[in-house]
Amino acid sequence: MNYTYKIATLNINATSSPMKIKKLTNFLLGQDIDIALLQEVANNDLSNVYGHSAHINEGTETRVQQSL
């Protein structure tokens, strides 16, 4: 039996507000995404993304804000 998975890769530029989490959840559910690979996740608590579980792989370097 063959399986087809819908995969999304997203650079979400931080998940610092409940509105961003809501938009992310709506996108994942609306597009019927099975696997989402997220970059630049500032808040590692993604437990409130309904219908999905989060597996976190943190880098060894922290995010550094630079001013020009």
User: Which H/E stretch holds residue 8?
Assistant: strand 7-11
User: Reduced to 3 states, what is the DSSP secondary structure of residue 10?
Assistant: strand
User: Could you give the number of structural domains in the chain?
Assistant: 1
What is the reported pLDDT for 49?
A: 73
User: Reduced to 3 states, what is the DSSP secondary structure of residue 40?
Assistant: coil
Residue 68 pLDDT > 60: no
- Per the domain annotation, does 29 fall within a domain? yes
- Per the domain annotation, does 32 fall within a domain? yes
What is the reported pLDDT for 60?
A: 65
- Per the domain annotation, does 68 fall within a domain? no
Residue 4 pLDDT > 90: yes
- Per the domain annotation, does 51 fall within a domain? no
Structural domain harbouring 15:
7-39
Q: Which residue has the tokens 């989490």?
A: 21
What is the reported pLDDT for 62?
A: 60
* pLDDT (tens digit per residue) in 17-66: 788 888 888 998 999 999 888 887 776 677 767 677 777 776 666 655 55
